[in-house]
Chain A
Amino acid sequence: MKIMIFDQGHPVTEQLLTKAIEVFGTPESGTCEIVLARCIGKAHETAADQLQKTVAEERPDVLLMGATALGEEIAPAMGIRLGTGVAAHCVDMELRYDGEVVFLIPAFGGRVIGEIMIPDVQPGRPAIATVKPDIFSADAALVSEINENNRLRVIDLEPAGEHRGFQLTGRQPRPRAAVDIGKAELILCGGAGLGSPETWQRLENLAKALGGAAGCTRPVVDAGWGPDESSMIGTSGRSVRPKVYIGFGISGAAHHLCGIKDADVIISINKDKKADIFNASDHKGVFNAEDVLSALEEEIGL
């Protein structure tokens, strides 16, 4: 079985490689070959054309890529061009005894997890799956050992010829949060129950004072209180795995709970004692979120 990973120079590649080795076997196991199709820092506009050509030459059975801004543009396009199915945003995958690959994908914001199979796979018409960053963990030691010993074949995608369609005219870095919520050990997360942009600002300040990062839910982004989607936690935002997550004024919609399920400890504050987040928490407090924020500010002298 041949597995191709589309490498776009994003940490998700190492996460995919670690998972692929776990599911399909090591490159030397005889049952599986893993190749990287690398497209870094060049001609992303033609990446789909380049990858299509490489798939035709290499004829993989499975094609994996990160569900990044680039991956989400390329994976569905490959599905149509190659006439095959694409499993979106896998949270797990397994190889069954009969050789069929089963992908687990979330729906309804993660409330439902469903199995997806792509039965009519042939070499060159691979099963395609995307995986969001930080869904799988990378085994750094394994990845560096594999790289040092050149155990993987890496194919550099050739820039394709003239490109019609969307032409890149400019690029600017997005402003970055002081602490990336994807790496934070402590996350204070605010929901609609914060009530105002001022309270959101206080939550951000408190998170900073406690050495953590501030995250939010969809209603906070939609209300325009300040944070954008890069701070949004949930299936359509970021998946996080902090040591401690504290939710303030969050009801616990399925898509948010799915994004915090890997936290070691979940603490939640909501004035509604029936809030869905409480059952998904280790510790809960039925309080007005702002009251607990004020008490925390006082305790640490903010």
Chain B
Amino acid sequence: MVILVLVKPVPDPEKYNEIQIDPQTKRILRQDAAAVLDPASKCALEEALRIKSEVEAASGDARCEVIALSMAPQTNRDKILECLAMGADAGYLLSDPAFGGADTYATSYVLAEGAKAILAAEELDAFDLIIAGNESADGATSHVPVQVAEWLGLPHLARVCELQIQREGAEGQEGAGGTPVIAATKKTEEMLLTFRCEEPALVAVTRDINKPRHISAMGIVKARKKPLTIWTNDDLKLDEAKIGAAGSPTKAGELMTPDLSRGGRDLTEEDGSAADAAKAILALLRKEGLGA
């Protein structure tokens, strides 16, 4: 079994309040926030690693390979190393200035073509499963996983909060040797919907699906010996009209930071107590006709 995990480096979500826009150029003024592996990407990888250990525990000679794939500048090589240190078996980073400035359409195209190139390089017919984080912390569109699946012609399911690989025998009974089937639970506004799908398919997982493992010292040592491949467009040879800004149907205009300031008056006098604050809060509630 081979699982492909789509991962994304993002500027550290703890630092988004510090982002400023240049009033003249209307672009982001300085973005020196260190990149981190997106929290949802980590959940996607954790889910793949859990399935890997289950598959390999079920049978002595069963193997499950987990491959991490990302499109990002080369400075993010350490984020792929982080994936390898968590337990991925191989990593691929698609990195070329020509990929830059891409919207979700052009990004998902490059990732899908990268996935095909990995299949060719690893001499595989197909990935059994592709897992991605449902929504990244920075852009948070939730589009890329679905769009990668559409480019690859695969079934997709987003907002997955539970995932299992089941084995179905010839009569639909579960058993160790049967056809692997993806069983997934999707959370909608009001319902929990369960689905099944034969492999291959793509699922996008939400952050409540698991708690990603921490990296061990041994993991870091092992990661250095694992294959990490960086491909540019010299390797992928994609039409420049279909990638980067040129391949993006959406165009970005001006950026702004909304002014949310409201003044922030103190609830109490300078030396007021928590009890004074509570009284002030209840008074404000009464003024609005609320409270007990």
- A interface residues, Cβ below 8 angstroms from B: 10, 68-70, 72-73, 75-77, 79-81, 83-89, 102, 106-120, 133, 164-174, 176, 185-186, 209-212, 221-222, 228-230, 235-236, 243-244, 246, 252-255, 257-258, 261, 264-269, 276, 278-285, 287-288, 291-292, 294-296, 298-300
Contact = CB atoms under 8 A, between A and B. Distances in A.
A86 B143 contact: yes
B117 interface: no
Contacts of B291: 186, 210-211, 300
B135 interface: yes
Contacts of A174: 187, 190-192
Contacts of B289: 243
Interface in B250-279: 250-258, 260-268, 272-275, 277-279
Contacts, number: 274
Contacts of B170: none
B175 interface: no
A81 B268 CA distance: 58
Interface SS of chain A: helix, strand, loop or mixed?
A: mixed
A107 B139 contact: yes
B62 interface: no
B248 interface: yes
B277 A118 contact: no
A109 B38 CA distance: 13
Contacts of B138: 107-108
Interface string B99-112: 00001110010000
Contacts of A170: 193-194
B52 interface: no
Given A174-B190, A210-B285, A212-B290, A284 B252 contact: no
Contact of B277 (A111, A120, A211, A285): A285
B201 A89 contact: no
20 contacts: A70-B188, A79-B105, A86-B141, A107-B140, A112-B255, A113-B256, A118-B249, A118-B251, A166-B155, A166-B184, A171-B191, A173-B192, A209-B292, A244-B284, A266-B262, A276-B17, A282-B262, A283-B267, A283-B281, A292-B278
Contacts of A298: 275, 278
Given A88-B142, A166-B195, A171-B193, A252 B17 contact: yes
